[in-house]
A and B are shown apart, each in its own frame.
Chain A
């Protein structure tokens, strides 16, 4: 499995020339996608996406609206089919195809944070974080409070809410709600975290907090983040993929992609000629 990945990497070398982490990366691909095509009924949203997400990195996906970024993200945890879509091509998580998984089990390994914070309205802050554990039967009675606290700390929210844990989840500010959603996703102990424009609904201060958080989180998790904000991608990610009209145009080290992009389309987008 790893060998094929290496071959592939070499075959696609022109796209990623210049990244020093080449050799190291091929040993630790967390998620590998090959020729992924996504459909909504008859219409094709993604055309043959192949990219590898290295472990413990942040991969950003950028591109103009409607170019398939979110669709791709949702393929990674099979949420795409929840919206009624179909998918071709392979997605490998730690060497196993995600299609062989019960999607429910898959989604505990691959968590998701959405654009608009969506804490469960009838639950308290504590219950929100615990929800994934409780409803999955993953609770060990004594450790629940510890897990909740740990998740809230990882989401940099604990200090702000430690005294109001039984207040309703939706009573928090937008930025806090988003961090609550992150804590909720972390509580089930995923390995990969998918973020779909997590800060686009937030103010600049909350956005900065989230970006800081992402840098911290990547130490323990692998993160794929979709963002329409190029500067954010540049700030936050190690590798960046540029999507356009459902195709992967370029994928490589963030700094290199932004300073000397290989493809003209990438350059045009980055310099603001369209999008």
Chain B
């Protein structure tokens, strides 16, 4: 049986078992907050989650009920603007990076994209303030859109590049061998093949943009009333949560939780979809 094993050996083995246990414990501790947040936002917000919430306007202070219809529309408009500013740049840059894998400039651009992704959203908000709000002399949805657009660029660019690179080289060769011009092969063959992954990646970037608050605080500002004008301040889901969370009315607090739940819900769904769509490709290593 276990002859010849010294005490030291048992010590090593139990140290190993213990640290394995610690790692497992860390994993548990790490995901606990996730469940806590889900649980709390649902339990706290469930009281306020009803149809009114989605289609009504906010009620004046002191009155209960009301909804966040303007905030939902506002967020949609802001994301839309962000897409208009950020998407073309991201797509084309992603294509550039995928086509020029080895060029020095591409490496620099890739590096700068990564650096861009680390810039705090509030700093982007300040820049948007300087270049849009100041010249226009007032806050606007446009400024918020610009900020969100800039925030979207790193994610959308990287996703586009990575999805394009996943398309096997043999497809490009097939296209070129048919005598199709290089740019047409990229645009009409490679891009459509990668489109599904790219779209989901962009949806993910949009989801992130929808949750942004800091940059909106002094660009789009916020609006208690219904507004869809781009040149005016506009409400948003995230700022709504912020205002209602700080307020001393528990009814408002509940509404903040409800809005938070809606936000998390959609972000989770989009993440699941993204995982699902890209799972097959990664598993097969691109072939």
Indicate yes or no for A touching B, C-beta below 8 A. Answer: yes
Chain A residues with CB under 8 Å of chain B are: 77, 79, 82, 104-109, 111-112, 114, 116, 118-122, 131-132, 135-136, 181, 184-185, 188
Interface size class of B (residues with CB under 8 A): 20 to 34
A82 near B176 with CB under 8 A, answer yes
Q: Which of A108, A118, A131 contacts B173 (CB 8 A)?
A: A118
Q: Interface readout for B156-197 with A: 1 if CB under 8 Å, 0 if not?
A: 000000000000101101111111111011001100110100
A131 near B178 with CB under 8 A, answer yes
A184 near B178 with CB under 8 A, answer yes
A118-B193 contact given A108-B179, A135-B188, A185-B178, CB 8 Å threshold: no
A188 near B176 with CB under 8 A, answer no
B177 near A107 with CB under 8 A, answer yes
Instruction: Report the nearest A residue to B174, measured CB to CB.
Output: A118
Number of A-B contacts (CB under 8 A): 69
CB of B132, distance to nearest CB on chain A (Å): 39
CB of B103, distance to nearest CB on chain A (Å): 12
Point out which of B170, B171, B174, B189 has the most chain A C-beta atoms below 10 A from its C-beta: B174
Chain B residues with CB under 8 Å of chain A are: 168, 170-171, 173-182, 184-185, 188-189, 192-193, 195
B174 near A121 with CB under 8 A, answer no
Q: Which of A105, A112, A120, A122 contacts B177 (CB 8 A)?
A: A112
A135 near B184 with CB under 8 A, answer yes
A107 near B178 with CB under 8 A, answer yes
In the assembled complex, the Cα of A105 lies from the Cα of B170 at a distance in Å of 20
A111 near B178 with CB under 8 A, answer yes
A108 near B170 with CB under 8 A, answer no
B189 near A185 with CB under 8 A, answer no
CB of A81, distance to nearest CB on chain B (Å): 10
Point out which of B171, B178, B195 has the most chain A C-beta atoms below 10 A from its C-beta: B178
Residues of A with C-beta under 8 A to B177: 77, 79, 107, 111-112, 114, 185
In the assembled complex, the Cα of A108 lies from the Cα of B178 at a distance in Å of 6
In the assembled complex, the Cα of A120 lies from the Cα of B185 at a distance in Å of 11
CB of A23, distance to nearest CB on chain B (Å): 34
In the assembled complex, the Cα of A109 lies from the Cα of B178 at a distance in Å of 9
CB of B101, distance to nearest CB on chain A (Å): 11
B193 near A79 with CB under 8 A, answer no
In the assembled complex, the Cα of A111 lies from the Cα of B184 at a distance in Å of 17
In the assembled complex, the Cα of A255 lies from the Cα of B184 at a distance in Å of 44
B171 near A181 with CB under 8 A, answer no
CB of A133, distance to nearest CB on chain B (Å): 9
Residues of B with C-beta under 8 A to A105: 179
In the assembled complex, the Cα of A120 lies from the Cα of B170 at a distance in Å of 10
In the assembled complex, the Cα of A181 lies from the Cα of B174 at a distance in Å of 9
Known: A107-B177, A118-B174, A188-B179. 15 other contacts (CB 8 A): A82-B176, A107-B178, A108-B179, A111-B179, A112-B173, A119-B174, A120-B174, A121-B171, A121-B193, A122-B192, A135-B180, A136-B178, A181-B174, A184-B178, A188-B178
A132 near B178 with CB under 8 A, answer yes
Residues of B with C-beta under 8 A to A106: 179
Residues of B with C-beta under 8 A to A82: 173, 176
A120 near B173 with CB under 8 A, answer no
In the assembled complex, the Cα of A104 lies from the Cα of B173 at a distance in Å of 12
B176 near A120 with CB under 8 A, answer no
A104-B171 contact given A121-B193, A122-B193, A131-B189, CB 8 Å threshold: no
CB of B180, distance to nearest CB on chain A (Å): 5
CB of A72, distance to nearest CB on chain B (Å): 15
In the assembled complex, the Cα of A136 lies from the Cα of B188 at a distance in Å of 11
A114 near B193 with CB under 8 A, answer no
CB of B195, distance to nearest CB on chain A (Å): 8
Residues of B with C-beta under 8 A to A119: 174
A107 near B173 with CB under 8 A, answer no
Q: Which of B173, B181, B188 contacts A114 (CB 8 A)?
A: B173
A120 near B179 with CB under 8 A, answer no
Instruction: Report the nearest A residue to B188, measured CB to CB.
Output: A135
Residues of B with C-beta under 8 A to A122: 192-193, 195
CB of B97, distance to nearest CB on chain A (Å): 18
**Top 5 nearest A-B pairs by Cβ distance?**
A108-B179, A107-B179, A112-B177, A132-B178, A118-B170
CB of B171, distance to nearest CB on chain A (Å): 6
CB of A134, distance to nearest CB on chain B (Å): 8
In the assembled complex, the Cα of A108 lies from the Cα of B192 at a distance in Å of 23
In the assembled complex, the Cα of A77 lies from the Cα of B174 at a distance in Å of 12
